[in-house]
Structure formats: structure tokens, C-alpha cells
A and B are shown apart, each in its own frame.
Chain A
Amino acid sequence: MDDLKLIAKEIRKTIVNLAHNSKGPHIGSALSCVDVLTTLYFNVMRLDPWDKRDIFILSKAHAAMALYSVLFARGILGERVLEGYYKNDGTLPAHLDRFTAKGIEVSAGSLGHGFNIGLGMAFGFKKSGVDQKVYVLIGDGESQEGSVWEGALFGSKLGLNNFAVVMDYNNLQGYGRAREICSFEPIKLKWEAFGWHAIEIDGHDICAIREAFGEDSSGKPKIIIAHTTKGKGVSFMEDQLTWHYYVVTDEHKKKALEELR
């Protein structure tokens, strides 16, 4: 587990550098899901052989920097590709385009798409007897999309034991807190009422994340509600609304990397 913590720290550094180089937004959103993605890519998912790999879909694709950095750390995405993030004539866009690089499974950016694509994919794998699992990360803000609830309502009847969705519940979306913007809670009960096996965990506790993925869900599809902190790992970004959009300056970068040493 300590190894994974170290890896997660390295990934956070990569994200800080990407955000600084690109002068783009969404660093807070990327930092909040690093521990979940690290656990998935370094512990939970089967990536070898590549053509039979488990699939991860970043449905909250504005956190693309997290995915790019994890894929880089895992050796799936090369340094040169990473360096072209968010640049003129570059390699990687701010939101996901599956034709840009290996490991980008689904093009996404508009919220409430990746979750439903994942459902269809998991259903397809199950139908054809393919032993591949599908993991999806959605946001709490994203969970206000009607499409998510259309999928939730339908998904539970499919008996998908090869599908798990994680909600990155940092309770800070673009312009406020999910809990204040709408009647978000009780979110676990809502998913359970839709027929899902719901688990609530600390989304930065790698042991808890690993256990949640391993937990038997009795044939039901699984939702892991991961309580997280936006901007996790960089004190002045943590739980700050502004870091959904703020740009990382030289000074921010210096301070952030010092904290992540």
C-alpha cells in the first residue's frame, strides 16, 4: 500500500506540472480522484494482455489530467505524448478523445455519457462471455445529469457483476457544493433504491478503495461512493471551489511541489 501512496504522490506531481505548463483549468478535479485511479491501474485492473484488458472510463473527463498522469506512470502513455497536453499542435486535449493516445478508451467531456457507455460495454462483454471488467468514474456534479439516473434505473436489472462505478464525491462542482445545489443526499440510499450495491468509503484511503472493489456485490452492479477532497494533496487547493478553474502559476507550482516532496 505504501508503494501505491508513493505512486499516487508522483502522479499528483505530474498533474501539477501539466496544469502549470498548460495554464489550463481543472487541477482540483484531477487531484481528487488520483487515489482511486492509482488503485485501479496499479492494483485492481488487468492490463495484460492488452487486448483482454479491463476497461476504465473517465466519465468526469474534465479530470483528464489525472488519467493522462496515471497512464504515464503505468507506462501506457509516453512522455512525449504527455508533454503535448493542451498545447497548440499538441497531442492530448483537455477532455478525452479516444483517437489521441493508447489507453484513452472513450471520448468524453460532456457529463453523463461515459457511465452509460460503460453499462453498454459491460453488458456486451457479459453477453459475449468476455472476461473483461468495466470501471467508470463519475463526479458528484455529473450525478445531476438525468442520463446517469436513466442508466442507474436500467443498469441494475442487467446482473452486471463485471461493472463498477465510482463516484468522486468531493462535494465541490463548478459553482458550488452538490449538497447545496440540489437534494443530493441521501445519495447512497438513492442508488440502493435503484437496485445497486452501494459502498461508502474514504476515497483517499487506498486500502479502503481496494477492499471496495473486491467486495462481493451478489451479482448487482456496484457503486462506490468515494468521499474525496477536491485538490487533495496540495493544502492551498484542498476543498477550494476556485481550484476547479484556477490556473497554476510558477509560485503555485513551487509551493505545491514542495508539499508533494
Chain B
Amino acid sequence: MRNTFINTIINACKIRGDIFIISGDAGLGVFDEFKILYPDRFLNLGVAEQNMTSFSAGLSMAGFKVYLYNIVTFLLYRCYEQVRNDICYQVLPVTLVGIGSGITYAPQGMTHYSVEDIGLAQTLPNLTVISPIDPVEAELAAEYSLNAKEPVYIRLAKRGEPAIHSRKDFDITVPQVVREGSDIAILFHGSISNDVMDAYNKLSKENISPMLVSVPVIQPLNKECLFAVLKGMKYVVFVEEHFENTGLGSILMRFYCECKPSWKIKTMGIPYRFIHEIKDTVNMRRLFGISSEGIVKVVKDMLEV
């Protein structure tokens, strides 16, 4: 997804002279091609996240379309106030490209996990948040950001995510049915998509066909379209690689209480605590019950099969 995203931006540079990429000393090798093609449009601002963020705001105010690239924790957490005051409060069209979403970097340790970024993003008015599930959504997210007049945060994992969408002529701001199904829907966003697809395949073998719905734009959430898509369902399972108490799941629960739909819902996420276990991403997801096995179990429990 990361490479698709970057390549979409590089392609746009052929016809646009205003694109500028800033890295906070992250992304070794990612920008090699870009730096060769457009050496004047890339700057590594070093390990100095406050300066990186405010500087990007200033560059944006001077007329550039700025892409700020860093690991999520060093993009939103370390410099939260700069993102809040300089980019979001001033409504600048800076795109924050965050990598290492969720527990992508396991077992690097808690300092490098981004399991609360959606919670932080919820506190930032004017910020559009996109969490793609596959390279197609990453490309559409890049295209969205190129046209955006407001700040955008794109939440990416690393690379190597499976292709899920077969078409790319859809509106990324609207929740997408990626697999048709009945009775039960699985909602998801971001890089947990490979476990969702695994779960879907496992369930299919047992003649259970859930509808899969991706929610690429988390903020602002298109609630009306989402609830329209889910109409007729009996059960909804939501899964994300994020703290369960502050992610999209918590937003869904709020809407659920407000709208009182006919379906039952179960949200799945990472428990709200610091992570001390040493495991890779696959095993960490398993531990937290958000791996394909966990998803299959929750679906079956809901269906009581």
C-alpha cells in the first residue's frame, strides 16, 4: 500500500509542480526514485518532529502541496500540538502519511505501535482520516489527498497487503461492500484486511457467507451510507487494529446507540492497555483475538453455529 501510495504521488508530479515531500528521517529507500526525479521537492527534516510539522504548515502556506511522511507515533503523537494548531486549526491542505499503523512493527515495542491514533485524530476537527485496506484504496486515498483542500491523515501499515478490490472506480468517502453476503456483515479498515480475508475464506468453506464492508474514510464517517449498506443484516462484526476504546469501533457504538438499528453488533480491537508481550504482528493479533481465527469465532458465536 505504501509503495502504491507513493507511486501515485510521484505520477502526479509529472503534471503538478507544487508537490513537496517532507520526511522526518523515515522511509529509507521509499523515496529513492522520487529524489532522483524531483530532487528539489524532497527534504528530510531530520529527527525533529515539532519543526517538521510546523515547517510543513509554513511550506503549505507558501503554496506547496505538502506530504509529510513519518511513522505514525512521530507524526501524530510527538508533535500532536503542531498538527492541531498549525495544520488543522489553520485548515492547511497538508497530507500526513503515517506508516506502521496498529501493531505493524511488532515486536519493536510499545513506543512504535500506533494503537490510539484514530482516537487522537477524533480530537482534530478539519482532519480527514483514511485507512485503506489494500493498494487500490491506497491509490484512491492518494488521489483524494491530491485534490483535498483540508488536512488529510492516511494511515498505512507497511507493504505487501493483498489486493481486495477488483475495481477502482468507486468513491473512497463511501463505505464499500467488497464481498457480498447475507445475515452477517464484517466491517473493517486498514491492514487487518488480510486476517479479514482469511476469515472470510475459512467461513466460506463452512458455507457461511458474511458481507465484507470496508470503511476507508473513518473521519468524517459517512454514517448514512454505512447504515444503508448494513440494512437487512442481522449481525455486524467490526474489527480494527487499534485500541477498542478509542477507535472506529467506539464511534460505531455511539452511532449504534443513537440510531438503534435492528442488527446486533460486536466490536473487536486491541485491549486498552500498554503492550508488553514480545510477539510479531501475526502472533500479537492472535493474542488480542483479532486474527482470522478470532474473527471466525466471533462470527460463529453471533450466528450460534
B46 x A120 contact (CB < 8 A): no
Q: Which residues of B contact A127 (CB under 8 A)?
A: 20, 40, 62, 64
Q: A150-B50, A154-B45 are in contact. Are A123 and B59 (CB under 8 A)?
A: yes
In the assembled complex, B61 has its CB within 8 A of some CB on chain A: yes
In the assembled complex, B57 has its CB within 8 A of some CB on chain A: yes
B61 x A154 contact (CB < 8 A): no
Q: A112-B50, A113-B82, A154-B48 are in contact. Are A119 and B55 (CB under 8 A)?
A: yes
Over the window 63-93 of chain B, the binary record of Cβ atoms lying under 8 Å from chain A Cβ atoms (1 yes, 0 no) is 1100000000000000001100110011000
In the assembled complex, A110 has its CB within 8 A of some CB on chain B: yes
Q: Contact partner of B58 among A110, A116, A128, A146, CB < 8 A?
A: A116
Q: A106-B90, A107-B90, A116-B51 are in contact. Are A122 and B46 (CB under 8 A)?
A: no
Q: List CB contacts (< 8 Å) of B79-131 with chain A.
A: 81-82, 85-86, 89-90
B58 x A118 contact (CB < 8 A): yes
Q: Which residues of B contact A153 (CB under 8 A)?
A: 46, 48
CB distance from A61 to the nearest CB of B (A): 10
Query: How far is it, in angstroms, between the C-alpha of A116 and the C-alpha of B46 when the chains are bound?
Result: 14
Q: A98-B90, A113-B86 are in contact. Are A120 and B55 (CB under 8 A)?
A: yes
In the assembled complex, A117 has its CB within 8 A of some CB on chain B: yes
Residue ID in chain A nearest B45 by CB atoms: A154
CB distance from A132 to the nearest CB of B (A): 8
Q: Which residues of B contact A112 (CB under 8 A)?
A: 50
B81 x A121 contact (CB < 8 A): no
A117 x B64 contact (CB < 8 A): no
B51 x A154 contact (CB < 8 A): yes
Q: Contact partner of B54 among A97, A105, A117, A130, CB < 8 A?
A: A117
Residue ID in chain A nearest B40 by CB atoms: A127
In the assembled complex, B191 has its CB within 8 A of some CB on chain A: no
Q: Which residues of B contact A97 (CB under 8 A)?
A: 89
B46 x A123 contact (CB < 8 A): no
CB distance from B288 to the nearest CB of A (A): 35
Query: How far is it, in angstroms, between the C-alpha of A163 and the C-alpha of B56 when the chains are bound?
Result: 16
A120 x B56 contact (CB < 8 A): yes
B51 x A130 contact (CB < 8 A): no
Q: A110-B81, A116-B55, A120-B55 are in contact. Are A146 and B50 (CB under 8 A)?
A: yes
Q: A116-B50, A124-B62, A127-B40 are in contact. Are A151 and B85 (CB under 8 A)?
A: no
A107 x B85 contact (CB < 8 A): yes
Q: Which residues of A contact B90 (CB under 8 A)?
A: 98, 106-107
B48 x A119 contact (CB < 8 A): no
Q: A106-B90, A154-B46 are in contact. Are A124 and B61 (CB under 8 A)?
A: yes
A120 x B62 contact (CB < 8 A): yes
- Pairs A–B under 8 Å by Cβ, sample size 19: A108-B85, A110-B85, A112-B50, A113-B85, A116-B50, A116-B51, A116-B58, A120-B54, A120-B61, A121-B61, A124-B62, A125-B62, A130-B63, A146-B50, A147-B54, A150-B51, A151-B51, A154-B48, A154-B51
Instruction: List residues of A whose CB falls within 8 A of some B CB.
Output: 97-98, 105-110, 112-125, 127-128, 130, 146-147, 150-151, 153-154
**Given contacts A113-B85, A154-B45, could you give 10 more A-B pairs where the C-beta distance is less than 8 Å?**
A107-B89, A114-B54, A116-B50, A117-B58, A120-B55, A120-B56, A121-B61, A123-B62, A147-B82, A151-B55
